[in-house]
Amino acid sequence: LFTHVPAYPGDPILSLMESFQRDARPEKVSLSIGLYFDEAGRLPVLDSVRQAAQFLAANVEPCGYLPMEGLATYRQLVQNLVFGAGHEAVRAGRIATVQTPGGSGALKVGADFIKRYFPQAEVWISDPTWDNHLAIFEGAGFRTHGYPYYDASSGTLCFDRMLETIRGLPSGSVVLLHASCHNPTGLDLSRQQWGALIPVIVERGLIPFVDMAYQGFGDGLDEDAWAVRALVDAGAQAFVANSFSKNFSLYGERVGSLSVVCTDPATADNVLGQLKATVRRNYSSPPAQGARLVQHVLQSPELAASWDADLADMRARIKDMRARLHQALHAHFGERRDFGFLLSQRGMFSYTGLTEAQVDGLREQHGVYLVKSGRMCMSGLSRDNVQYVADAIITILEE
């Protein structure tokens, strides 16, 4: 029956993780998968989350189905976090928000909804991007295209070409944008560049779909959501996927949400209804525990402050690792090679410009694992291993 079913080649990043686990060298360093690790190389359990989990464990409730759209309080708290408490669109009730299984679930629900109501639309995504963006939108039946984003020869954002391409799209095209901490390049638009892009999106009648998987990992919770709010302030109707996988270190709970900003509350009600129908057709209703944990933290001013402080520590640690790696490389290369990109890129990832052969060399000769595109996950670095990684990079580059 299943002889025509081909083997699954596996997800390249997850397969790399498996090879890493099998690697017996004690000095090995994983800089591939997009997880935040602490200084000791562990996934953190945030104190606010631990307290929320203890509260929930002490107050166990029957586990019925959640509504298709998820927990009402959670959805409200998400709107405050993403758009800003008191934002006009939040107060007006013109945003439809559904709780989803992670950011991936939000992208999938959004993609299915758009396919149903804008069946002719095609989707434009930054080149490069997180691979699953292509898989999710193509899986929902869309043709996808890349818009220029990263110029490999200079290692910089090619904003002019990006803007030019987006300006030429047919109205009703979907444009996927990363809110901040772009995966995989670590290069974000400046506020001035957003200021040039947003009017084009609005005037051309494009459908912006903002993916915000790293809120708080760049410059802060509000700072990282700046572009989302600027879009809404400019009158855009927009899709926003957000994830709590990274910023709450709750990867396995699958907690995130999709918000659709509409022009008025009546439209938002209809959109919410059809988002519920989309959820029903996909997985019926979202999981409960992750959203209860996030809700418990965000509802309590003390726990929310503790979360914000932990997030600031994670952010500071990543920046410190960027600085240490830069310093170690600069000490060796001086003006011969510029590693300034390590300092200017934001969030968990850095596009290093290393070639596939150099990435292979790092892994085979030194046990340092990067993704083959040259993407490095900065949170795999620690004070203990950063010099080792720098030396490995130096050896490979000087070969």
- Chain residues in the site for ligand PMP (CB under 6 A): 34, 102-104, 130, 183, 211, 213, 243, 245, 256
Q: Tell me the three-class secondary structure of 43-110, residue by residue.
A: CCCCHHHHHHHHHHHHCCCCCCCCCCCCCHHHHHHHHHHHHCCCCHHHHCCCEEEEEECHHHHHHHHH
Q: Minimum CB separation from ligand PMP for residue 212, in Å?
A: 8
Which is closer to ligand PMP, CB of 78 or CB of 393?
Answer: 78
Contact, 346 vs 218, CB < 8 A? yes
- Closer to ligand PMP at the Cβ: 104 or 350? 104
Strand partners, 144: 123
Q: At which residue do the structure tokens 């670095």 appear?
A: 381
For the CB of residue 38, give the shortest distance to ligand PMP in the complex, in Å. 18
Q: Does residue 175 sit in helix, strand or coil?
A: strand
Nearest distance in Å: CB 369, ligand PMP:
16
Extract the runs of DSSP E, i.e. beta strands, from the chain.
29-30, 95-100, 123-127, 144-148, 150-151, 156-157, 174-178, 207-212, 238-243, 256-261, 349-351, 368-369, 375-377
Cα-based angle 277, 282, 285 (whole degrees, multiple of 5): 70
Among the listed residues 124, 188, 194, 211, the single catalytic one is: 211
The least CB distance from residue 187 to ligand PMP, in Å, is 13
Taking the complex as a whole, the smallest distance from the CB of residue 107 to ligand PMP amounts, in Å, to 6
C-alpha separations of 240 from 79, 108, 256 in Å: 10, 12, 11
Concerning whether 211 is annotated as a catalytic residue, the answer is yes
CA-to-CA distance for 349 and 352, rounded, in angstroms?
Answer: 9
Question: How far is residue 236's CA from residue 269's CA, in Å, rounded to a whole number?
Answer: 18
- The catalytic position among 112, 246, 276, 310 is 246
Q: Is 194 a catalytic residue?
A: no
Residue placing its CB nearer to ligand PMP in the complex, 10 or 265: 10
| Nearest approach, Cβ of residue 197 and ligand PMP (Å) | 18
Told to judge if 188 belongs to the known catalytic residues of this protein, a careful annotator would answer: no
Neighbours of 1 (CB within 10 A): 4
> Closest distance between ligand PMP and the C-beta of residue 391, in Å?
29
Q: Which CB sits closer to ligand PMP, 218 or 256?
A: 256
Distance CA 375, CA 33 (A): 10
Q: Give min distance, CB of 359 to ligand PMP, in A.
A: 19
**Structural tokens at position 230:** 């600027």
In this complex, which beta carbon is closest to ligand PMP, that of residue 245 or of residue 352? 245
**Residues 49/293, Cβ–Cβ less than 8 Å:** yes
Which of 130, 224, 276, 310 is an active site residue?
Answer: 130
Closest CA to 131 of 247, 220, 9: 9
In single-letter form, the type of residue at position 266 comes to A
CA 369, 376, 347, 103 torsion-angle sign? negative
- Closer residue to ligand PMP (CB): 20 or 339: 20
Which residue, 245 or 379, is less far from ligand PMP as judged by CB? 245
Task: State the residue number with the nearest CB to ligand PMP.
Answer: 102
Q: Which is nearer to ligand PMP, 173 or 180 (CB)?
A: 180
Q: Is the distance from CB of 275 to CB of 292 less than 8 angstroms? A: no
Radius of gyration of the chain (CA): 21
Active site residues: 130, 211, 246
